[in-house]
Amino acid sequence: MIQVTKNVYVENGMMACNLGMLVTREGVVLIDTPMQPTNAVKWRREAEKKGEIKYLINTEEHPDHWQGSYFFPGVLITSQNTRARLEKTPAAEVMETVKHIDPPGLPLMKDYKVRLADIAVEESLTIYLGNHTVKLFRLPGHSAGGMGVYLPEEKVVFTSDVVFHKKKTWLQEADPGAWLESLKKLNELHINVVVPGHGDVCQKDYFKEQGDIVKKWADAVQKTMKQGLTADQAAAKIVSPDPYPKQEGTPMTETELHKTIVSHLYRYYSG
């Protein structure tokens, strides 16, 4: 765990996304949860040392961000999109994943349930806790349910998976146009610290590079479509415009992820 400002901590050594903690004088706000039950329990204990866990935020609908919510107390907040998707996710699916990624955590899964948001955000929501403000706002592009978390007093933003800092960007459900708009929105915030969904903490100067990676993927796929190639042919032809390696411990091989991105963007641009 690293301390990024006076009251904000980030853990980036637990599978798989970055975890955030805001400590206020009236309690703790947690941002995203570990995938592995054993880590979830550890992270909860760390948080409880700093105060009572008041709010828990899942910034998007992919399992690495919400799977561990069951192990935490506090009011759970997600976007409406995320809540709707989780309603359709069976607990058995999570069980199956845990068998592979955390066998020692299985005994903790006995009564596991997919935790659904107590409060669902349509566009934006502001929480006031202690001397702190927590601003949640829709941040689509990587996924429909993405949500940013801005802490103005700390000058920190949690971007969810709209930013993969120097890790391969996942565009498996991407809406590239919305993604670029979200980066623009982030760039307008008064911030010194950017906590990406994956990769080390960075600064807002990385938004441009992140946007270029998304743009180049979109251009490359549209170009092959104009040439009349099929999605498979395009996947074979396109050289990934992303210079960074896939984060370790995430599903799929580099090749599988490459194909998944191309076939998603093919479907997306074919309407």
Coil vs helix vs strand at 132: strand
Q: Which is nearer to Zn ion, 9 or 170 (CB)?
A: 170
61 binds Zn ion (CB under 5 A): no
Q: Which is nearer to Zn ion, 137 or 164 (CB)?
A: 164
Q: Taking the complex as a whole, how short is the minimal distance between the CB of residue 118 and Zn ion, in angstroms?
A: 22
**Phi and psi angles of residue 157, each rounded to the nearest 5 degrees, phi first:** -130, 140
Q: Which is nearer to Zn ion, 53 or 180 (CB)?
A: 180
Number of amino acids touching Zn ion (CB under 5 A): 2
H-run or E-run covering 77: strand 75-79
Q: Taking the complex as a whole, how short is the minimal distance between the CB of residue 49 and Zn ion, in angstroms?
A: 29
11 binds Zn ion (CB under 5 A): no
Q: Taking the complex as a whole, how short is the minimal distance between the CB of residue 105 and Zn ion, in angstroms?
A: 21
Site string for Zn ion, 62-91 (x = CB under 5 A): x-----------------------------
Distance CA 195, CA 242 (A): 20
Distance CA 239, CA 243 (A): 10
**Whole-Å CA distances, 219 to 39, 131, 161, 180, 245:** 39, 45, 21, 13, 21
Q: Taking the complex as a whole, how short is the minimal distance between the CB of residue 161 and Zn ion, in angstroms?
A: 4
Beta-bridge partner residues of 125: 136
Q: Taking the complex as a whole, how short is the minimal distance between the CB of residue 60 and Zn ion, in angstroms?
A: 5
**Tokens standing for residue 45:** 């204990």
161 binds Zn ion (CB under 5 A): yes
Which span sits near Zn ion by CB under 5 A: 7-15, 36-44, 157-165, 222-230? 157-165
Cα dihedral 175/180/181/183 (nearest 10):
120
Residues that bind Zn ion (CB under 5 A): 62, 161
